[in-house]
């Protein structure tokens, strides 16, 4: 009798766990990062990124060689290694729709 109760309890736990795993996942980002976002990284300079005018963009200006990257829906665009004091530009056409994914990066090179 005890063995049957344990097996039944275990089956209930597995069933409940299975239901939780099959629940609809919450998207990491529901929309693209709308508007211009400005940050001042520890490496210096100014970094602007976001989605505006139908494109995701990453602009970085600093006094050393640097670059920018954008990723939208798994497609990556990287700027070339840009000279100190110039603005690195990474841009990719995009539409802002529910479930769209984006990421923005800057680097020194």
25-50 pLDDT per residue, tens: 334 557 888 899 999 999 999 999 99
| pLDDT over 90, % of the chain | 64
Residue 91 clears pLDDT 50, i.e. is over it = yes
Cα–Cα dist 99/29, whole Å = 7
Set out the domains of the chain in order of their start, with CATH numbers: 37-108 (2.60.40.2850)
SS3 content of the chain, % helix, strand, coil (to 5): 20, 40, 40
Q: Which two tokens stand for residue 59?
A: 């602009």
Instruction: Give the DSSP letter of residue 91.
Output: E
Mean pLDDT of the chain: 81
Q: What is the pTM of this model?
A: 0.71
CA distance 10 to 107: 50
pLDDT of the residue at 28:
55
């Amino acid at each position: 009798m005890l063995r049957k109760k344990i097996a039944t309890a275990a089956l209930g736990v597995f069933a409940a766990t299975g239901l939780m795993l099959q629940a609809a996942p919450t998207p990491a980002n529901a929309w693209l990062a709308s508007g211009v976002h400005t940050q001042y990284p520890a490496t210096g300079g100014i970094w602007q990124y976001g989605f505006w005018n139908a494109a995701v963009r990453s602009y970085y200006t600093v006094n050393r060689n640097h670059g920018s990257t954008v990723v939208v829906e798994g497609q990556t665009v990287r700027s070339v290694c840009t000279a100190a004091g110039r603005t690195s530009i990474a841009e990719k056409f995009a539409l802002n729709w529910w479930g769209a994914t984006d990421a923005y990066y800057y680097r020194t090179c």
